[in-house]
Homo-oligomer: A and B are copies of this chain.
């Protein structure tokens, strides 16, 4: 896209939106300031239980993970933080890591604990962690979370994300109520050690890796527990963690209505927790989610600033860095389009029962081509006009392979 075409597009969009009373500079500014964290485990190839195909040049340690995110930040200007996973990302030299991150202008988003695998700890999580019938295992899992908080404090993080795989594969295996009770009690212990300026982000997921019951299967259970923990515990929405046909945007609205939305793990899915690139399968759903977010924030259900934004996808067949560039772009587009919604007109249609009109209002925003806006915001922030083209032109993956090796493999799933 030539820069003169870009300018013409921008001018036309400015005229189009201006006629509706929307100032393009205000939009660009909002898009420019919107930042989404990237998880440390998303920088290597993902896999399924049937195998994993390497990509080459993956970051071999925490330093190289930061470098990859630094690159993403430089190109896209849509990310400025990393979300670490313990034990995969235990820093050997905290000060050096902090300095490295500062140099790359990257901060530390929510920390992630891991009690769904055995990685040498004394007691096995095979039968669960925070919900385990054995108090010694629950204790171990609690202490692991406390350790994660400590590491996070040393790095300047302000949040702990808890995703529990706990559950059962067969009817009868677990005592459902006790497992819920034990989980709540374990989380209370963790919450008691949460620094005053931290928040606890509690995920839910209906199934996988357990296939009969999961201790925290839905937003209701997560909200129930958060209410027992305290104000700083909120519900994290991972877009792939729902049963078929779930109306996710309604869940987002319901959580904001209660001031209970912690934030997002962005990805996309067609079947289950597919962990595909956000926006690649259901872009309209992503737009509708942002419509609820903007509405909830504007109408003071919950503040925009209180919400955390993170990508969480698995890059099984794409170069992870390219995938993340696409995801950041898709999220920016959804956000930009949702900003275009004529909310006054929408409210009028809703009050009058004008169903056709309400649909027109939303689709008018969704159908608008906002790529020029998102691009302009990136350019104004000092990023690349077309990050993906730049990444390919500069042959960055080839350089990473040359530097780190073909067989370099990042820690993760």
Contact = CB atoms under 8 A, between A and B. Distances in A.
A263 interface: no
Contacts of A46: 49
Nearest to A132: B353
A350 interface: yes
A317 interface: yes
Contacts of A207: 245, 270-272, 274
A47 to B, nearest CB: 6
Contacts of A272: 207-208, 271-272
Given A118-B53, A326-B356, A270 B253 contact: no
Contact of A49 (B257, B269, B413): B413
Given A12-B12, A172-B349, A244 B244 contact: yes
Contacts of A181: 257
Interface in A133-191: 133-134, 165, 168-177, 180-181
A355 B317 CA distance: 7
Interface stretch (A23-31, A69-77, A84-92, A364-372): A364-372
A254 B221 contact: yes
B217 A170 contact: no
A231 interface: no
Contacts of A173: 317, 350, 355, 358-359
10 contacts: A5-B19, A172-B349, A207-B272, A211-B275, A218-B218, A220-B254, A224-B254, A243-B243, A284-B284, A356-B388
The 6 A-B pairs at the shortest CB distance, nearest first, are namely: A220-B220, A172-B358, A211-B274, A48-B209, A244-B244, A51-B117
Interface of A: 5, 8-9, 12, 15-16, 19, 46-51, 53, 116-118, 124, 126-127, 133-134, 165, 168-177, 180-181, 206-209, 211-213, 217-221, 223-224, 243-247, 249-250, 253-254, 256-258, 269-272, 274-277, 280-284, 288, 291-292, 295-296, 299, 301, 316-319, 322-323, 326, 333, 346-347, 349-351, 353, 355-356, 358-362, 366-369, 371, 388, 413
